[in-house]
Structure 1
Amino acid sequence: MDSLTHALTGAITGHAIGDSRLGPKAMLIGAVAANIPDSDVIFTRFFDPVEAMFVHRGFSHALILMVGGSLLLAYLLKRFAREQFSFGFWWLMVLLPWFSHLIMDTFNTYGTALFEPFSSIRVSFDSMAITDFNLVLILLFTLLALFLLRKKQHRYKQLVGIVGLVLVMLYFALNVFIKLSVEKEVKDRLKTYKIGFNRLHSTPLPLTNLVWMVVVEDSSAFRVSQVNILKKQMVSHTLLTKNGIDDRCSNPLRRIREFTKGYYTIDKDDRGYFYVNDIRFSSLEFGYPAAYVIRFKVNETTCTVNRTHPKRGLTPRNIRKFLQKAL
């Protein structure tokens, strides 16, 4: 998820744990702890563009680092904080917001390496966009309610915070249900029209859960569709042909295949470069190649790889068109 979503979730979690003892400081500690894993972006610049994709949400998002890091921070807080509380209290203040970050990220398509260094498997349920306005609104309304109740007794504020967190969990569960429903509908249509396929990938477009992208793969191409769940209809459809890869660049492209899980296409230009496109993501732009979010630019001669900056197309024009498509 994006940093704002993590900070808001961490703040509400910190409030639920420590508001009665720390007051507003509980929110601050929770917000900071919830964003610790994404400090890995500081180090990605020291890696080549392909490996940097694995560094982000890699060991920094591992459960073992969460446990060790939260224990260390709890020790430091107990020793140096002016407030004298138990080690267990400080540990929960750091652990639970940190844990919320890891769990929320697993619902995105990018993938989260929870089990490093023991396993490189990246967990991804593909049911949440990295930025979801519905989720942000739930969190903001919860914080607003906590602000309005700031002078009330602690038990009322704690209840509001817990209710807000429960609503967040229910929203995540709703998106999993929608994902399963969308995939079932698409599979039923494919069966009706007797269209064979190898596998299927689905994920919501940025900002909301009302429009989902579905990628259907067969032996020669990817069929990319956008499905409106309110109208129960496809609002766009694109056929992306699979292309071969030059064996001379097999080493970097092996890692790109691993990162994209095989969901990629290749475009070539007349300047000696080809572009590997991760089609598991989509921006708010309409049509390809503008809709690609993650692209790798590869020199055919030297096999050097550069990554284009992610383009999510979050412009007023695209947002307006997207809302028209969604509603």
Structure 2
Amino acid sequence: MDSLTQIVLGAAVGEVVLGRKVGNKAILYGAIAGTIPDLDIFASYFTDTVSALAIHRGFTHSIIFSLLFAPLFGWLVSRYESYKDFKGWSWLFFWALITHPILDAHTTWGTQLFWPLDLRLAFKTIFVIDPLYTLPFLVFVILAMFQKRTSKKRRLYNGIGLTISTAYLALTFILKDVALTQFEDELLMQNIDYKQIDTRPSPLNTILWNANVETKKAYLLGTYSFFDTKDITFETYPKNHELLGNLIQNEKVKRMISISEGWYTINKIDDKLYFNDLRFGLLSMEPQSQNFVFKYLIDEDDLGNVSFIEQVKTQRDGKQLMLDLWKRVKGN
């Protein structure tokens, strides 16, 4: 999830653990701890694109990281804070650290919660930014901050925020299941033979859902809104995996395919190959658009070294997508 959401979650968890004893300092340190796992984004400045993608939401989002670093952070804080309970601070950091990847596991990218096992947990029930999850949560955390640390209202407000956000998160599983059923029924009606289907919410909401459907030679991309009155239509995108040629044996290419979980297409434009990660969809809702959210140029130098160069996204792309999504959410 986005940084603000993780800050709010960490703050609320910190309040639960130590709010009655240290007041707003529990919220402060909880908020700080809630952002720590995302420091892995700095890996992109020190390594290549493929390695950075593999590292993202890896070790720092694991149970092992929380177990190892919670005592360290707890010890550091207990050294200079007036409240000297090492165990209490360690417990705060553990829960603020571990709830971060648990929440991220509900997004499309998911997390390697069980690192070093090569397993990415991704429920794909909520978009990385969802105002319906974050804003009510934020309001109740702020309300709690303005109450005395021993106040019953403080615990009540924080508890309401946690309850509403958790209930909404649970609701997203039901919404995903309903959307999946609609996609499956439509595929059956259209007599489409497919291998697998993957669903996820569209940006900023859980009303409009996207589906990737794998067939033998192509992927079908479709959308469904709970306000739809017409049948679901699917856009066909050829896999074009054969365009990789001998590159399919390259280790970085293999790693990129693994990262995308096999949901990718290849395009050849002006004799250049592009790798499109289908898991995050398109930046445009125009028919047959090739403007994927994550699109990489596959660059091979004279020595045969391969690198993936992420294609730049513009503000114009984002604004147009928001306008298109707003129209599509209201139904087809």
Alignment of 1:112-191 (within 5 A): 112-117=111-116, 119-147=117-145, 150-151=147-148, 154-191=151-188
Change (3 A) 1:102 1:234: farther
| Secondary structure of 2:200's aligned partner | strand
Change (3 A) 1:33 1:311: farther
- 8 Å CA contact 2:297–2:309 kept in 1: the answer is yes
Is 239-248 or 16-25 further displaced after alignment?
16-25
Distance in 1 (CA, whole Å) between partners of 2:315 and 2:172 is 21
- 8 Å CA contact 1:40–1:55 kept in 2: the answer is yes
Which residues of structure 1 form unaligned runs of 5+? none
Determine if the alignment matches structure 1 residue 25 to structure 2 residue 28: no
Aligned AA (1:106)? A
Aligned AA (2:51)? E
- 8 Å CA contact 2:212–2:221 kept in 1: the answer is yes
Change (3 A) 1:250 1:233: farther
Aligned AA (1:138)? P
Distance in 2 (CA, whole Å) between partners of 1:34 and 1:233 is 42
Change (3 A) 1:210 1:172: same
Is 36-45 or 289-298 further displaced after alignment?
289-298
- 8 Å CA contact 1:203–1:212 kept in 2: the answer is yes
Distance in 2 (CA, whole Å) between partners of 1:175 and 1:311 is 30
| Aligned twin of 1:304 | 307
Distance in 2 (CA, whole Å) between partners of 1:156 and 1:221 is 56
Distance in 2 (CA, whole Å) between partners of 1:250 and 1:296 is 18
Change (3 A) 1:140 1:47: same
Aligned AA (1:185)? Q
CA-CA distance at 1:260 after TM superposition: 0.6
Distance in 2 (CA, whole Å) between partners of 1:324 and 1:135 is 22
| Secondary structure of 1:104's aligned partner | helix
Aligned AA (1:155)? K
Change (3 A) 1:151 1:60: closer
Change (3 A) 1:68 1:87: same
CA-CA distance at 1:133 after TM superposition: 1.6
CA-CA distance at 1:63 after TM superposition: 0.7
- 8 Å CA contact 1:224–1:237 kept in 2: the answer is yes
CA-CA distance at 1:309 after TM superposition: 4.3
| Aligned twin of 1:230 | 227
CA-CA distance at 1:225 after TM superposition: 0.5
| Secondary structure of 2:234's aligned partner | strand
Distance in 2 (CA, whole Å) between partners of 1:232 and 1:91 is 53
1:147-197, CA deviations, whole angstroms, 9 ceiling, x for partnerless residues?
Answer: 5x5258522211221221121111111111111111122112222332110
Which residues of structure 2 form unaligned runs of 5+? none
TM-score for the superposition, normalised by structure 2: 0.90
Distance in 2 (CA, whole Å) between partners of 1:210 and 1:5 is 20
| Aligned twin of 1:193 | 190
Distance in 2 (CA, whole Å) between partners of 1:312 and 1:121 is 34
CA-CA distance at 1:324 after TM superposition: 2.5
Question: Sequence identity, in percent?
Answer: 26
Aligned AA (2:237)? L
- 8 Å CA contact 1:296–1:307 kept in 2: the answer is yes
| Secondary structure of 2:111's aligned partner | coil
| Aligned twin of 1:294 | 294
| Aligned twin of 1:14 | 14
| Secondary structure of 2:279's aligned partner | coil
| Aligned twin of 1:51 | 51
Change (3 A) 1:249 1:273: farther
| Secondary structure of 2:221's aligned partner | strand
| Secondary structure of 2:227's aligned partner | coil
TM-score for the superposition, normalised by structure 1: 0.91
Aligned AA (1:231)? D
